[in-house]
Amino acid sequence: RVLVAGSANLDFVVRAAHIPAPGETVLGREFQTFPGGKGANQAVAAARAGGADTRMLLALGDDAHAVPVEASLREAGVALDIRRQTAHATGVAFICLSDGAENAITVAPGANAALVADDLPDLAGVDTLLLQLETPIDAVTAWATRAREAGVRVVLNAAPARILPDALLRQVDVLIVNEGELAMIAHQADDLISALKCVPVPAVVVTLGAVGCIARDGTDLHLQPAFPVAAVDTTAAGDTFCGVLVATLARGATLVAGLRAAAAASALACTALGAQSSVPARADVDALLRG
């Protein structure tokens, strides 16, 4: 079983010709809301990848924005541990999406910021805990520490980018980052390979957008090219990658097999709008993997 402990938001998305510069107003086109948040996106991706039971710890406000967020997770088959926050609003994200498939995102964490160490549910039956950094770092560190003590594999997607306390890094079995996030963690390294080598975690995966990803497992390096697709919206590509990688590892697959499945699923996620709504079904990922 996979437990995701993390953020859940409602995303407010506007498409526009380009992302506004500071002080600029851009006339956008269509507006849509989508269930999002890194934690919830990753939980949906893990559940759709199938084969492993997926559960999520999340916090929601007592408001209308919580309704579609909860519904999307339930529809994907994620079992929920909801901490209802009456003093905080459900988290929201304001996303501007350009015609060049670039995005600019502002998050108001709301209820997500009220999660604390004691909120982690019982870990009986859990083999992998998947964490991100959209919930308070002290809570994330405490959850990772408790999981490690219980013999649960800890996977951290260190996004959004920030410097990590050693107390957290020490508890991580698999670290998943993009280049910007890796640069924050391995700031003394001159290049990607030396950065990969100097992070004190057993396995590190660095995603490289349309290029693919590179991973270090112990001392072995693996390169997984991206699957070529016509990208329309890369929102949640990284989250799909994380959820599918973890679900595949939880089924007992090797890291190399997990990276391939994650690359295929995240490529497909780039071909549809939205966050959770763009996470592909397992059958479509398997079809792409068969070629």
Beta strands in the chain (DSSP E): 2-5, 9-16, 31-36, 54-61, 79-85, 91-98, 103-108, 128-131, 153-157, 174-178, 203-207, 212-217, 220-225
- Dihedral sign from CA coordinates of 97, 101, 105, 111: positive
Q: Is 239 annotated in the active site?
A: yes
Least CB distance to ligand ADP at residue 75 (A): 23
Smallest gap from Cβ 215 to ligand ADP, in A, equals: 10
- Establish whether the linkage from the previous residue to 22 is cis, with ω within 30° of 0: no
Instruction: Say whether 252 counts as a known binding-site residue.
Output: no
For 21, residues 6+ apart whose C-beta sits below 8 A from its C-beta are none
Do the beta carbons of residue 141 and residue 165 sit within 8 Å?
yes
Tell me which stretch binds ligand ADP (CB under 6 A): 83-91, 124-132, 133-141, 262-270: 262-270
If the CB atoms of residues 116 and 272 are measured against ligand ADP, the closer one turns out to be 272
- Tokens coding 276: 């959770």
Q: Which of 16, 79, 89, 208 binds ligand ADP (CB under 6 A)?
A: 208
Q: How many residues of this chain bind ligand ADP (CB under 6 A)?
A: 20
Strand order in the sheet with 153-157: 79-85, 54-61, 2-5, 128-131, 153-157, 174-178, 203-207, 212-217, 220-225
CA dist., res. 172 & res. 246, Å (int): 13
289 binds ligand ADP (CB under 6 A): no
Q: How far apart are CA 131 and CA 38, in angstroms?
A: 9
Q: Residue number with the shortest CB distance to ligand ADP?
A: 238
Token look-up 């072995």 returns 220
The Cα 237–Cα 21 span in angstroms is: 24
Retrieve residue 264's tokens: 């295929």
Q: Which of 231, 253, 273, 289 binds ligand ADP (CB under 6 A)?
A: 231
Return the bridge partners of 128, or none: 2, 153
Among the listed residues 99, 191, 239, 284, the single catalytic one is: 239
Q: Is residue 169 part of the contact set for ligand ADP (CB under 6 A)? A: no
In the complex, what is the shortest distance from the CB of residue 207 to ligand ADP, in angstroms, rounded to a whole number?
Answer: 3
Shortest distance, CB of residue 80 to ligand ADP, whole angstroms? 24
Annotated binding-site residue? 238: yes
Name the phi and psi angles at 79, rounded to 5: -80, 135
Q: Is 197 annotated as a binding residue?
A: no
Alpha-carbon distance 161 to 158, whole Å? 6
- The answer to whether residue 212 forms part of the interface with ligand ADP (CB under 6 A) is yes
Q: Which two tokens stand for residue 119?
A: 């909120």
Shortest spacing between CB 241 and ligand ADP, in angstroms: 4
Candidates 8, 107, 152, 267: give the one binding ligand ADP (CB under 6 A): 267
Stretch of 59-67, 148-156, 165-173, 208-216 lying at the interface with ligand ADP (CB under 6 A): 208-216
Query: How far apart are CB 181 and ligand ADP at their closest, in Å?
Result: 8
Q: Which of 43, 237, 250, 275 binds ligand ADP (CB under 6 A)?
A: 237
- Residues near ligand ADP (CB under 6 A) are 159, 178, 207-210, 212-213, 226-227, 229, 231, 234, 237-238, 241, 263, 266-267, 270
Residues belonging to the active site = 239
Binding site listing for ATP: 178, 207-212, 238-239
Binding site listing: 9-11, 37-41, 134, 178, 207-212, 233, 235, 238-239, 269, 272, 274, 278
